[in-house]
Amino acid sequence: MRFDEPLSEAILIRRYKRFLADVRLPDGREITLHCPNTGAMLGCAEPGCRVWFSLSSKPGRKYPGTWELVETAGRHLACINTTRANALVEEALRAGHIAALAGYGVLRREVVIGGEGSRIDFVLSGHAQRPEEHCHVEVKSVTLALPDGIGAFPDAVTTRGTRHLRELLALRKQGQRAVLLFCVQHSGIGSVRPAEKIDPEYAEALRQAVAGGVEVLAWRSAIDMQGMHLQQSVPVELQPA
């Protein structure tokens, strides 16, 4: 996945009201960017860090700049734009790059599932060897980096994420294939664990989902100023982080 236009660099002044960030441009001007991330962004929103943003010419936008990347401690790159995770995964799915999810001929996005009315990110079907199978895939973006290259999810309490785990487990109990895919958007992360101290309910729901047959995968992104792509799988550990 390539960025539509070259990214512009700035220095972060502050992130506030969840969806806004003030930055200072190289010429000294200060502007406000849209911040497409609802999480706490722990370690990814430190004042004074380098950030990169994209610009949109779409009419009616109050803030034409969108915060995309940040340089974190250790000079790692992280993509804080959580909407990029689904695009990365879709690109990899269509290319057959994720071996565990390859072989399906049909991909549907944002499909309503379950009794709680949620939308799951992808439903795959049309597998040559298993034509009756439907594979449900929920994607979560991981940017919280702990020591020793450990990534943790979530970075803030997520009742929505816990609900998704319940629905994946319910699908599995119905005999359908259910997959949680952690899309790691931080170059310093080499494994993923549940963030037990931040959201113990989510961590327990994840362990219950795995015990019930839900598959959990994690793939790390390669990130540069031109774009991103899913590069390699990384381990998922269910012990507390």
Residues ≥6 apart with Cβ < 8 Å to 1: 84, 87, 88, 91, 227, 228, 229
Task: Say whether pLDDT at 56 is over 90.
Answer: no
The pair of structure tokens assigned to 11 is: 């220095």
Q: At what angle do helices 159-173 and 200-211 cross, to 10 degrees?
A: 10
- Phi, psi at residue 24, to the nearest 5°? -110, 125
Task: Say whether pLDDT at 196 is over 60.
Answer: yes
Q: What are the sequence ranges of the domains in the chain?
A: 8-79, 83-233
Per-residue pLDDT at 9: 98
Q: Predicted confidence band at 4 (pLDDT cuts at 50, 70, 90)?
A: confident
Q: Predicted confidence band at 5 (pLDDT cuts at 50, 70, 90)?
A: confident
Per-residue pLDDT at 25: 98
Per-residue pLDDT at 103: 95
Q: What is the mean pLDDT of residues 127-146?
A: 95
- pLDDT one-digit tens code per residue, 7-52: 999 999 999 999 999 999 999 999 999 999 999 999 999 999 999 9
Per-residue pLDDT at 118: 81
Task: Say whether pLDDT at 241 is over 80.
Answer: no
Q: Predicted confidence band at 187 (pLDDT cuts at 50, 70, 90)?
A: very high
Do 8-79 and 83-233 come out as alike in CATH topology?
A: no
Contact in structure between 145 and 138 (CB atoms under 8 Å)? no
CATH of domain 8-79: 2.40.50.580
CATH of domain 83-233: 3.40.1350.60
- pLDDT one-digit tens code per residue, 59-117: 878 899 999 999 999 999 999 999 999 999 999 999 999 999 999 999 999 998 866 67
* Dihedral angle computed from the Cα positions of residues 143, 149, 151 and 156, in that order, rounded to the nearest 10 degrees: -70
Question: Any bridge partners for residue 33, and if so which?
Answer: 21
Per-residue pLDDT at 182: 98
- Phi, psi at residue 18, to the nearest 5°? 65, -50
